[in-house]
Amino acid sequence: MGEPCVVALVVDGDTLRCTDGTRVRLIGIDAPERDQGRSFLSSRAALARLAPARTTVRLERDAARQDRYGRRLAHVWRGDTLVNEALVAEGWAMLYTLPPNVKYARRLEAAQQRARQERRGHWADGAFACAPSAHRRRQC
């Protein structure tokens, strides 16, 4: 299931790069931006822990293959773990559904509900008071 990617670098909390140069944007999630300080660092560290450099992950496609920046859109699997879901479940990323890529939207939504109720990760430290998408639009 999916194509292999040997992780070269974790760029941020929702983007990584494979050793072949492929840039991968994890589908269905959004993590703090670089200018959001410690919350950015925490989210990037969480992705680096779940998909460490030099490990092989599997990239599962959904409906759309690339985003407008040319990054490969993928559900990222490490063994039996859906990394996208794990980041949301731990509170380091939040749900960001963009149709038509909705294959695991319900799983991600359930993971976010649990993380928010249990005040995990950024739900505990207040970093999601301004969602990354709202921050990019300078709404907060």
Q: How far is CA 106 from CA 71, 99, 135, in A?
A: 23, 13, 24
pTM to 2 decimal places: 0.95
Based on the structure, what is the number of domains in the chain? 1
The DSSP letter of residue 27 is T
Element (H, E) at 15: strand 15-18
DSSP-H helix ranges across the chain? 38-50, 83-89, 105-117, 122-125, 132-136
Domain that holds residue 128: 3-136
- The rounded distance, in Å, linking the Cα atoms of 3 and 12 is 21
Per-residue pLDDT of the chain (140 residues; tens, 9 = 90+): 789 999 999 999 999 999 999 999 999 999 999 988 899 999 999 999 999 999 999 999 999 999 999 999 999 999 999 999 999 999 999 999 999 999 999 999 999 999 999 999 999 999 999 999 999 999 98
Domain of 18: which CATH number? 2.40.50.90
**pLDDT score of 112:** 98
- The rounded distance, in Å, linking the Cα atoms of 126 and 14 is 19
